[in-house]
Structure 1
Amino acid sequence: MCQVRLVRIIVLFTQVYVFSTMLGIACVARAYAGAWPMEKGKGQSISTFTWQGGMHGFDRHGKARVDLSFQKYENAIFMEYGLTEKWTVVARPAVQNVRLRFEDVVDQAKGLGATELSLRRALPGWKKWVLSAQAGSFIPGSVENGFDKPLGQSGLDWEVRALAGRSLNMAGRHGFVDLQLAFRERSGGSGNEIRLDTTLGSQITRRMQVHLQSNIVVGLPSSRPDIRTVDSFKAQASAVWFFRRKTGVQLSLSRTLTGRNVVRDSGLTLGFWQRF
């Protein structure tokens, strides 16, 4: 079983590498989030409205042959604030409206989703890399609290995360790469998760940035046989236009490319960035 899990993790990580290589972006400039700490007394907020929907899901073998109906609307705000030169506080509350129909069962709820509260610590850098560590919790809400839980089922989750970022200048364009590896401790018997988030960014004009992201979730086996193991590999492409120096708007498209026991959804996000 452990060997099978290891092979699956290696395969998913390889998919991220291939995906990033195919994108071929000459990355990137200064990052204002991720591994980079916020300056003391400064911060940013990203307010987003997201729609996600899908008519099929991946079964336990990774085949997209499960018929279902999924709709999700979410208003969220991601906030970062520099407490000191080394410590950054992170918060992300979200209001959701979710409906999932599978076979003859409909699960529907609206209200507050899980809220992230985290603290990030800047670490000594390595060569040209910026390094940091983050720990936080996900306070359950009344709607979506995880891939594998019925809507509204609560339970406090914990996460530790290692972050690495690097500014680049290639082909005359500024950019950045941000890599994040996390372990999430789940509650209520749900399987723990390993997560890998990758962001590549490029400043294509003075006011326009392009971000390409991949988000991998590798579910570890649960101690309870009635709880399914969930895997997910999602890709997202975003354009951010700063019509003012500290204010911008975002348009993103996302797609779950592969997974197990998860919806094959597509998504559209509109966002508003504000640095302060």
Structure 2
Amino acid sequence: MPFARALAVWLLVILAAGGASAGAWLMPPGEGQIIAGAAFSGSSRAFDSHGHLIPVPSYDKFELGAYIEYGVIDWLTLVASPAYDRIRQPAPALSYNGAGESAIGGRIGLYQSDGLVASLQAVLLTPGASFNSAIEPRRAGSIDLRGMIGSNFTIGSAPAFVSAEGGYRFFAQSQPGEWRLDLTFGVRPIEKVLVLLQNFGALQTGASAAFPRSLWDKLQTSLVYDFTPSISGQIGAFFTVAGVNTGRELGPLAALWYRF
């Protein structure tokens, strides 16, 4: 499999709340992938309006999700990500058990060479719990528009890549929108192992009574092991390193990848 084409597989990452992505690369026509994943987080701390950690009522959050991607034609890849959330909080706060923020959309290729790729993606998201854990109210449905760019290279003899995504999320019901920036670095130190280091960030500059101005920055690191050419497993962890008016997330994740 050519290296540029293989990156369409290796770049696929665990579903993150708020939408998953395979980076700027498109899937070849007639090929696809399904990633089934789970993540757990729990915390008794949150970032206040000055970015300082403060104690808050504890909560536990469990997420199940799938990320599905299929190449339709050379320049179009369809994506979908159904999700389930279970959030537990002590009374009088409300717990939640049901459908999570799910998405459907597509990615259009703009440019591709052996070492560089650029694309645009548009995704429609259903209502769901705020990414800022369970502290804020539920978010309305939204549209996520973003530009994506990626590059592959080698570090010594190890294949590696970087991917950057930037865009804006428009929410219904007059809820404030969010600027988004996601960064990914991946390297294969040995043939069957992929090391991923990712950063996910959001900035809400607008504000309302229910949704004050906020920002968050989350790091995620994981290992992906190839059991067969079509099946891989992923384990890792994530945590919120900084924020304003947002919950601090911390926990493990795991996923199973199937390519077809």
TM-score with structure 1 setting the length:
0.82
1:68 Cα offset (Å): 2.4
Hey, what's the Cα distance between the residues in 2 that align with 1:169 and 1:250? 22
Hey, what's the Cα distance between the residues in 2 that align with 1:258 and 1:105? 27
Distance 1:154 1:59, change over 3 A: closer
Hey, what's the Cα distance between the residues in 2 that align with 1:148 and 1:170? 37
Amino acid at match of 2:126: I
Distance 1:265 1:173, change over 3 A: same
2:212 aligned partner: 228
Distance 1:209 1:149, change over 3 A: closer
Distance 1:149 1:185, change over 3 A: farther
2:102 aligned partner: 115
Hey, what's the Cα distance between the residues in 1 that align with 2:248 and 2:95? 18
Aligned CA-pair RMSD:
2.0
- Confirm or deny: 8 A CA contact 2:87 2:134 kept in the other structure: no
Once the two structures are overlaid, the 10-residue window that deviates more, 149-158 or 179-188, is 149-158
Sequence identity of aligned pairs in percent?
27
2:7 counterpart SS class: coil
1:160-199 to 2 correspondences below 5 Å: 160-199=145-184
Hey, what's the Cα distance between the residues in 2 that align with 1:69 and 1:149? 10
Hey, what's the Cα distance between the residues in 2 that align with 1:177 and 1:49? 24
1:246-261 to 2 correspondences below 5 Å: 246-261=230-245
Counterpart pick for 2:83 among 46, 71, 94: 94
1:227 Cα offset (Å): 2.6
Amino acid at match of 2:121: Q
1:170 Cα offset (Å): 1.5
1:57 counterpart SS class: strand
1:189 Cα offset (Å): 3.1
1:220 Cα offset (Å): 1.6
1:106 counterpart SS class: coil
Given the alignment of the two structures, is residue 54 of structure 1 paired with residue 43 of structure 2, yes or no?
yes
1:1-276 to 2 correspondences below 5 Å: 30-32=7-9, 33-101=22-90, 105-125=92-112, 128-141=115-128, 144-147=129-132, 153=138, 155-222=140-207, 224-276=208-260
Hey, what's the Cα distance between the residues in 2 that align with 1:155 and 1:186? 6
- Confirm or deny: 8 A CA contact 1:189 1:227 kept in the other structure: no
> Which structure features the higher share of helix residues?
1
1:85 Cα offset (Å): 1.0
- Confirm or deny: 8 A CA contact 1:31 1:176 kept in the other structure: no
Amino acid at match of 2:84: V
TM-score with structure 2 setting the length:
0.87
Where in structure 1 are there 5+ consecutive unaligned residues? 1-28
- Confirm or deny: 8 A CA contact 1:148 1:227 kept in the other structure: no
Hey, what's the Cα distance between the residues in 2 that align with 1:148 and 1:55? 11
1:11 aligned partner: none
1:35 counterpart SS class: coil
Hey, what's the Cα distance between the residues in 1 that align with 2:173 and 2:27? 34
Distance 1:35 1:252, change over 3 A: same
1:105 Cα offset (Å): 3.4
Distance 1:127 1:244, change over 3 A: closer
Where in structure 2 are there 5+ consecutive unaligned residues? 1-5, 10-21
Hey, what's the Cα distance between the residues in 2 that align with 1:139 and 1:119? 15
Number of matched residues?
A: 243
Hey, what's the Cα distance between the residues in 2 that align with 1:254 and 1:146? 13
Hey, what's the Cα distance between the residues in 2 that align with 1:181 and 1:221? 18
2:195 counterpart SS class: strand
